[in-house]
Structure 1
């Protein structure tokens, strides 16, 4: 199956989940993260705000805020394909942006300095080699190929059915260090 067809197939499966299923599976994923990843006070992590039945990251977001973990979120800019991360310390600093996704206000501090400890990534699908299939815009691919992120731990978040045997990959695709699903960590 080519990327476009596979992407649509996986999106259809994800959209078929009930809100209850998304919450239940997402809570298990959050539990795996909190048990297996060292989220250290004052460290930096990159997260995302979920859309369209993605893994619900809100419990993890609130955990980070409550524990003073510096949490950065993506903002897609008008320049096609450009994405930057901004420090967000409370939900009121997020508002609908491009694509209707909650994004940081431009008043929030933009990411700079030392790289984040962990980058949590959404995905339409992942394969057993830990490659990611995104929405097709290339935002994360371009962003993650910057040298500063070479030492950051890349963690894909997905539901178990989003894991496929093999994805067609391109030279710019980044391999995840881990993929966390409700059933296990790859």
Structure 2
């Protein structure tokens, strides 16, 4: 199956999830992430705001953002589309957000930026992932370009998908960059790439 056809099929399945099923599966994903050493040891994490029924990670930001207990304080970064690249901005609960041209929630341009050297973990939204760590996104190539650059290539990554979109193999192109881990509601798995 071609990428475009597979993407359409999986997005249709995701959109058909009931609100209760989406919430329950998202919460289970958050639980698996929070118990992972990748997460517990990370201080600065790049993530995303849920779009078109992507798994909702907002419970992570609510419980770990700016907490008084320094044991659980995390710095969160979120992307802003700038041309064909992603610019990462620091986010706290008090910050306002905006919708970009795609309808995706993102930080304002004047929010403080995060440099690659500060980042401990990147949590990446995906339409699908396979057992080798390859992901199917929306087709813009933003994350493949990010992960192909030397300053980002070695950062730990977790692709986030619902279990129905975690597949044995995806069609891949030469520019596709594999992720190191995938998390579904069934658990977090290291990839075999």
TM-score by length of 2: 0.89
Distance of aligned partners of 1:109 and 1:178 in 2 relative to their CA distance in 1, 3 Å threshold? same
Give 1:50 shift: 0.3
1:18 alignment counterpart: 18
Task: Name 1:152's counterpart in structure 2.
Answer: 155
Greater alpha carbon shift after TM alignment, 116-125 vs 97-106: 97-106
Residue 107 of structure 1: aligned partner: 110
Is the partner of 1:110 in helix, strand or coil?
coil
Kindly state the Cα deviation for residue 70 of structure 1 after the two structures are TM-superposed: 1.1
Structure 2 regions of 5+ residues with no counterpart? none
- 8 Å contact from structure 2 (residues 116, 151) kept in 1: no
Q: Give how far 1:59 is off.
A: 0.5
Q: 1:184 aligns with which of 181, 187, 193?
A: 187
Give per-residue Cα distances to partners, 1:69-97, cap 9 Å, x unaligned: 111000012x2x22211111125332212
SS of the residue corresponding to residue 39 of structure 2 reads coil
* Matched residue, 2:32: 32
With over 3 angstroms needed to count, the CA separation of the structure-2 counterparts of 1:21 and 1:42, relative to structure 1, is closer
SS of the residue 1:53 aligns to: coil
**Number of residue pairs aligned between Structure 1 and Structure 2:** 184
Pair 1:130 & 2:133 matched: yes
> 1:53-74 CA deviation, whole Å, 9 max, x = no partner?
1000100122331332111000
Residue deviations 1:151-172, cap 9 Å, x none? 2111011110001121111122
CA distance in 1, matches of 2:118, 2:39: 14
Correspondence for 1:141:
144
Deviation at 1:115, TM superposition (A): 4.3
Q: CA deviation at 1:15?
A: 0.4
In structure 1, runs of 5+ residues without a counterpart are none
Contact 1:97/1:103 (<8 A) preserved:
yes
Q: Is the 8 A contact 2:26 2:57 kept in 1?
A: yes
Greater CA drift, 4-13 or 32-41:
32-41
Cα drift, residue 149 of structure 1 = 1.4
Quick one: which of 51, 62, 73 aligns to 1:68? 73
